[in-house]
Structure 1
Amino acid sequence: MGQAPVVYGQSSRPPRGDYGRAGADYTCAQDVAAYTEQDHATYRRLYERQSALLPGLACRAFIDVLPRLGAKERIPRFDDINDSLCKATGWQIVAVPGLIPETAFFTLLADRKFPVTDWIRTPGELDYIAEPDVFHDLFGHVPLLFNPVIADYMQRYGQGGLKAEKLGHCEMLSRLYWYTIEFGLIREEQGLRAYGAGILSSGGELRYSVQSPVPRRLPLELKRTMRTRYKIDTYQQTYFVIDSFEQLFALTEPDFTPLYEELETLPEYGADSELLIAPARAAS
């Protein structure tokens, strides 16, 4: 029992999760007893604030299933959510101490298990947090796992991730995850709406992503999306838009192996510009 902490990108602060509780697959028991009344109050405040912003900005599928997370007054028990989630789509959520390695992440998704960080941010981090916590993971990601199409897409992503790792193309695939599951937009009859967890759990980026004239909003196209770098410390300058979840599922159905081979010879797009950047690998 016990694993090494995981860090992605650059950070001056070590991960705060207790990785000593993690098993070989990086999962652990949800430490419900460790939550304080302040923790529950933080969750309640975040939930109330974010849910009030959803009308007109979040996709209808998300709004419709959000109540299935259960009561908003306290951090829910994962087992309670799993009772209904497993019946709906065969998924379950599992507790983790924080960020986990790509192999462990992909393996869990391929097995229809979604890792949820079990600690919550401090009151001073209501507007921004550098790494995902229980509110981001639960509120942002879990509701759409009740949607059969997204549920199947997430499992397919996990399976594709294990393959991409063997081929050395995790970075390309991570961009697709970033611009769909984390920061994706969908066009509905009523207009543009957000479905990405990073947007749905953010008080500022939700309105910015849908309504601001600043960022580019492009139709989701695999080659363009997987060639676009992203930033983790600012609002996105580029968003990719789908017309339906079924479209997203269909786009990712083919084998990506020839796509990876083509992409590694092509230049990349900067996260905040249309400028092309030389490819990381030269064509052989």
Structure 2
Amino acid sequence: MSDVWRRTPITVGGGVGRAAEHPGMRDPRYLARRRSLAAPARGHRVGDPSPQVLYTEEEQATWREVHRALAESQRAHACRAALDGREAAAIPADHIPQHAEIGARLRRLTGFDYTLAGGAVASRRFLCSMARGYFHAVQFIRHPAVPMYSPEPDVVHDVFGHGAHLALPEFAAIYRLVGEAAARLETEEALQIVTDIYWFTLEYGVVDEGGVPKAYGAALLSSYGELGRLGGCRLADLDVPGMLATPYEISGYQPVLFRARSLGHVADTLAGFLGRLDDGDAPELRRAAVAGRRAGRSRS
């Protein structure tokens, strides 16, 4: 998962809170378990196999509970492609899948595979690995006290969201497009532009289906709460300058989501913009984005 997630807010007990308020951030037993599952990622080389994890019955029960809730909510609020991807990935309902279990299927379908992460990954490593067909994924699962939302990506997010994406060629092509742009660009300003685009599309993107907004972004697909409030979100038409000027360091769910006409519309828009983006353009684009975000905050 990219280090952009360090800034992600959470919802606790129906109210808005920061990550530090989540039970998983204050439970010593849970934190020790999380650290033990994250430790093998230190020094892990992209593409090396992930270790097998012996999950506890409590962890398996959390997975089963979240799987039931998300499967139902996705039927109502996820786009057709996301549902097709979930079916193609064969995400199990009864147990937490190992990376190798899902990864083997992804390789056959799109050439993608998981590579191990222990938590936040530097954006350049995270994005550039996608150009090579690898997606950084963690192995720990969210705290059982708040199973429908997590302050950071967990195995639910990486399987239910990104696993469903990477089982379909249409999604996999967009991941590679974003990864190839990151690999080609050298400056941190240009990399931040690619990161912002990734955030508002592959994490929080929405498409119109029959005039109804449907989720395709992985963060939406793995969040029961955000799926349920999708119809009440402020939606803007897919627009790269608009995404770059929209803040997402917020205390609560995303206030603005960008809606595309189709996945093809997403792919074409990103290909057009990222294909032209170079390091020389990035400083001016970033200045415009920062000005736009400041203006947006002053109006809110």
TM above 0.5, yes or no, is yes
**Is 1:229–2:269 an aligned residue pair?**
no
Q: Deviations over 1:19-75 (max 9, x none)?
A: 542225477754434311111111111011111111231101111221323321000
Deviation at 1:137?
A: 1.0
Alignment of 1:101-180 (within 5 A): 101-180=122-201
Distance in 2, matches of 1:28 and 1:255, equals 33
2:11 is matched with which residue?
none
Distance in 1, matches of 2:294 and 2:67, equals 34
Alignment of 1:247-258 (within 5 A): 247-253=265-271, 254-257=275-278
Alignment of 1:1-284 (within 5 A): 8-9=6-7, 16-18=34-36, 19-22=38-41, 23-25=43-45, 30-67=50-87, 68-189=89-210, 191-209=212-230, 211-212=231-232, 215-231=233-249, 233-253=251-271, 254-257=275-278, 259-266=281-288, 267-269=291-293, 275=299
Deviation at 1:108?
A: 1.6
Distance in 2, matches of 1:81 and 1:50, equals 18
1:281 is matched with which residue?
none
Go from structure 1 to structure 2 and tell me whether the alpha carbon gap of 1:6 and 1:70 turns closer, same or farther (over 3 Å shift). closer
Contact 2:246 2:296 (C-alpha < 8 Å) held by counterparts = no
Distance in 2, matches of 1:271 and 1:137, equals 34
Contact 1:31 1:118 (C-alpha < 8 Å) held by counterparts = no
Go from structure 1 to structure 2 and tell me whether the alpha carbon gap of 1:202 and 1:179 turns closer, same or farther (over 3 Å shift). same
Query: Secondary structure at the residue paired with 2:236?
Result: strand
Query: Secondary structure at the residue paired with 2:214?
Result: strand
Contact 2:85 2:166 (C-alpha < 8 Å) held by counterparts = no
Query: Secondary structure at the residue paired with 1:142?
Result: helix
**Which piece of structure 1 moves more, 119-128 or 133-142?**
119-128
Distance in 1, matches of 2:286 and 2:5, equals 25
Which one has a larger percent helix, Structure 1 or Structure 2?
A: 2
Contact 2:247 2:293 (C-alpha < 8 Å) held by counterparts = yes
Distance in 1, matches of 2:62 and 2:250, equals 23
Distance in 2, matches of 1:78 and 1:198, equals 19
Distance in 1, matches of 2:263 and 2:201, equals 10
Question: Percent sequence identity over matched residues?
Answer: 26
Contact 2:103 2:114 (C-alpha < 8 Å) held by counterparts = yes
Go from structure 1 to structure 2 and tell me whether the alpha carbon gap of 1:232 and 1:151 turns closer, same or farther (over 3 Å shift). farther
Deviation at 1:123?
A: 0.6
**Which piece of structure 1 moves more, 156-165 or 102-111?**
156-165
1:279 is matched with which residue?
none
List gaps (5 residues or longer) in structure 1: 277-284
Go from structure 1 to structure 2 and tell me whether the alpha carbon gap of 1:53 and 1:142 turns closer, same or farther (over 3 Å shift). same
Query: Secondary structure at the residue paired with 1:80?
Result: helix
Q: Deviations over 1:218-247 (max 9, x none)?
A: 111111111211035411111100111111
Deviation at 1:265?
A: 3.8
Q: Deviations over 1:191-237 (max 9, x none)?
A: 2101011111111111212x11xx32111111111121103541111
Distance in 2, matches of 1:96 and 1:88, equals 22
Deviation at 1:86?
A: 1.0
Residue 260 of structure 1 aligns to which amino acid in structure 2? A
Deviation at 1:271?
A: 9.8
The number of aligned residues is 269
Contact 1:59 1:195 (C-alpha < 8 Å) held by counterparts = yes
Query: Secondary structure at the residue paired with 2:148?
Result: coil
Go from structure 1 to structure 2 and tell me whether the alpha carbon gap of 1:216 and 1:41 turns closer, same or farther (over 3 Å shift). same
Distance in 1, matches of 2:5 and 2:258, equals 26
Query: Secondary structure at the residue paired with 1:175?
Result: helix
Residue 269 of structure 1 aligns to which amino acid in structure 2? R
Q: CA RMSD in A?
A: 2.8
Q: RCO (CA 8 Å, sep 6+): is it higher in 1 or 2?
A: 2
